[in-house]
Amino acid sequence: MTRLKDLRSVLNLTVLVAGLGYFVDLFDITLFGVVRVASLKDLGLTDPADILQKGLFIYNAQMAGMMVGGLFWGMLGDRKGRLSVMFGSILLYSAANLANAFAWDVTSYAVCRFFGGLGLAGELGAAITLVAESLPKEKRGLGTTVVATLGMLGIVVAALVAQHLHWKTAYVTGGLMGLALLFTRFKVSESALFTHKAGPAKANPLLLLQGGRFLKYLCCIGVGVPIYFTTGILFVFAPELTAGLNVQGTVTAGNAILFGSVGLTLGDLLSGLLSQWLQSRKRAVGLGLCAWFALVLVYGLVPGLTPTLIYFLSFLIGLCVGYWAVLVTMAAEQFGTNIRATVATTVPNFVRGSAVLAASGFGVLKGHLTVGHAALTVGAVCFGLALLSLSRLTETFHRDLDFVESPDAARAGAEDSQPGPVS
């Protein structure tokens, strides 16, 4: 197992600032799930079915913003640099969160969440790309693990703190934290690989559509789909889901998110360390996926569960599906420096956006199946898609990131070969 001093060796300013940025990012993403019911009741909604429907609408608006933002910030990161995204995105989502505190109806709420999602979309991809390009290949997995683990703590804090704050105060808190973090980024340096070896002249996101790159890109997204099925359905809509499963007692979304996010945080750390120990990104993800689906079956099929057991299962499910850092690192390692920011920024946001499809599928199926069977059906599809996608990706643990993508390489079918250094 990787020694503790190896972890300490990657704790430089770039890694810590990137990790704190992702902390604020996930704090803000999690807020709506925690304050959803209270905020919508405060806006005048009383019927539980209406709260669920309007909650899905607002949640989908946030996810749509993240998908649009992923494309925008990703291309900007390859054109203007990773730091430009880290500054611009935090300004936008901080402003959107402050504005969210003044939402007066469902429509204004959804608009604020759309722009919040637009801004939040840029944080993780830029952070992971910058860290991966700043560390030697034998340590970059540890660096991205630190970033993701710090970020997951943002979910824990949001779940723990936000449910005890008025929803407007929670959004103001998120906005102010973002603005405070902005000042720490002035001492962080741009990626040397981008500045000296790729740069805006070679950036071309259309390269993703050439050769086998697009299929590889879709597979990176597919591997992450179970993560946001878990957070977007099992955690956020835990009250409605467990009521349909006849769980005896009240399950709250805040507590489900809290216990699940603690599991996700530990899972991110453990999956990153497991990847280092196995010297394989793919095997670490595959083990987590199989354990995750077994626990989802328990969640949906075992009768007589109590709120305490649901929270414990949420923790274990989060632990198993906490391979977020490994996934985003693996996606960044698959592609060259001139499109790496586009990939690393869009992949996690399209993974997040997949929660829209999962939630919509769940919403349709629960009208024809029991709630438990509807959730299990969607979960099984996510599991199958993730395993198939993982099998199509190449192992990148030892890959040198000092390379760019070119149209010639795509036409020659060389995209899956081990890349060499940039000429």
Give residue-wise pLDDT tens across range 63-95. Answer: 888 888 888 888 887 777 777 788 888 889 899
Q: Tens of pLDDT along 245-300?
A: 778 888 888 788 889 888 988 898 888 889 888 889 999 999 999 999 999 999 88
Residue 286 or residue 198, greater confidence: 286
| 4-184+210-411 CATH fold | Growth Hormone; Chain: A; (1.20.1250)
Query: How high is the pLDDT of residue 303?
Result: 83
Query: How high is the pLDDT of residue 413?
Result: 40
Mean pLDDT of the chain, nearest integer: 82
On whether the CB atoms of residues 93 and 25 are closer than 8 A, the answer is yes
**422 has a pLDDT exceeding 50:** no
Query: How high is the pLDDT of residue 24?
Result: 87
- CB atoms inside a 10 Å sphere around CB 53: 13
Query: How high is the pLDDT of residue 196?
Result: 63
Residue 307 or residue 195, greater confidence: 307
Distance in angstroms (rounded) separating the CA atoms of residues 190 and 187: 10
What token pair was written down for 395?
Answer: 């192992």
What pTM, to 2 d.p., does this model score? 0.77
Query: How high is the pLDDT of residue 203?
Result: 61
Query: How high is the pLDDT of residue 417?
Result: 41
For residue 6, name the pLDDT band (cuts at 50, 70, 90): low
Q: Tens of pLDDT along 130-165?
A: 888 787 777 777 888 888 788 878 877 887 777 788
**1 has a pLDDT exceeding 70:** no
Query: How high is the pLDDT of residue 317?
Result: 95
